[in-house]
Structure 1
Amino acid sequence: MTTRREQISGESRELILTAAAELFATKGYRQTTFADVAERSGISRGSIPWHFGSKEGLLMAVLERSVDLVRTSLDDAPGPGVETGLDHMLKGLDTLFAQPTTKLFVTLLVEALEPDSPIHDRYVEIHDTLRGHCKRWLDRFAPTVALSTDALAVAIVGAGIGIHQQWLVAPDRVDIGQSLAALRALVAGIVPVTRT
Structure 2
Amino acid sequence: MPTRRAETSQESRRLLIEAAASAFADRGYRQTTVADIADRAGISRGSIPWHFGNKEGLLLAVVEHAFDLVARNTAEPRRPGPDGLRDLAAQGAAFVRMPTTKLMVSLLADAMNEDSPVHDRYVDLHAAMRSYVAAWAAQPYEGHRLPDGVTPEDVGVVVLGAIMGIHQQWRLAPGHVDLERAFDTLQRVLLAALEAPAS
- The verdict on a shared fold, with TM-score over 0.5 as the criterion, is yes
Distance in 2 between the 1:85 and 1:42 partners? 49
Number of aligned residue pairs: 189
Cα pair 2:76 2:132 within 8 Å, conserved: no
TM-score (norm 2): 0.82
Matches within 5 A, 1:157-172: 157-172=160-175
Within 5 Å, which residues of 2 pair with 1:82-161?
Answer: 85-99=81-95, 100=98, 101-141=100-140, 143-146=145-148, 147-161=150-164
Contact preservation (8 Å) 2:25, 2:107? yes
Stretches of structure 2 lacking an aligned partner (at least 5 in a row): none
Q: Does 1:49 align with 2:39?
A: no
Moved more, 165-174 or 133-142: 165-174
- The root-mean-square deviation of aligned C-alpha atoms, in Å, is 2.5
Percent identical pairs in the alignment equals 44
CA deviation vs aligned residue, 1:73-110 (integer Å, no higher than 9, x gap): 222678xxxx8752343223332452323222211111
CA distance in 2, matches of 1:12, 1:77: 36
> What's the TM-score once normalised by structure 1's chain length?
0.83
In structure 2, distance between residues paired with 1:6 and 1:74: 32
CA distance in structure 1 between the partners assigned to 2:192 and 2:126 by the alignment: 24
User: CA–CA distance in 1 between the matches of 2:76 and 2:152?
Assistant: 20
Written as runs of structure 1 = structure 2, the 5 A alignment for 1:19-98 is: 19-75=19-75, 85-98=81-94
Question: Which of the residues 181, 184, 188 maps onto 1:185?
Answer: 188
2:181 and 2:72 mapped to 1: Cα distance? 26
How far apart are 1:149 and its partner, in Å?
A: 0.3
- 2: CA distance, partners of 1:17 / 1:143: 44
Comparing 37-46 with 65-74, greater Cα deviation is found at: 37-46
**Is the 1:86–1:191 contact (alpha carbons within 8 Å) kept by the matching residues of 2?**
no
Structure 2 counterpart of 1:117, one-letter code: S
Q: Which runs of 5+ in 1 are unaligned?
A: none
Gap change, CA 1:8 and 1:119, over 3 Å in 2:
same
Moved over 4 A (4+): none
Q: Which amino acid aligns with 1:32?
A: T
| Alpha-carbon distance change, 64 to 35 in structure 1, aligned in 2, over 3 angstroms | same
**Partner amino acid for 2:102?**
K
- In the alignment, residue 116 of structure 1 is paired with which amino acid? D
CA–CA separation in structure 2 for the residues paired with 1:120 and 1:145: 33
Q: Of the two, which has the highest radius of gyration? A: 2
Q: Does the residue aligned with 2:73 lie in a helix, a strand or coil?
A: helix
CA distance in 2 between counterparts of 1:44 and 1:185 reads 51
Distance in 2 between residues matched to 1:148 and 1:77, nearest whole Å: 16
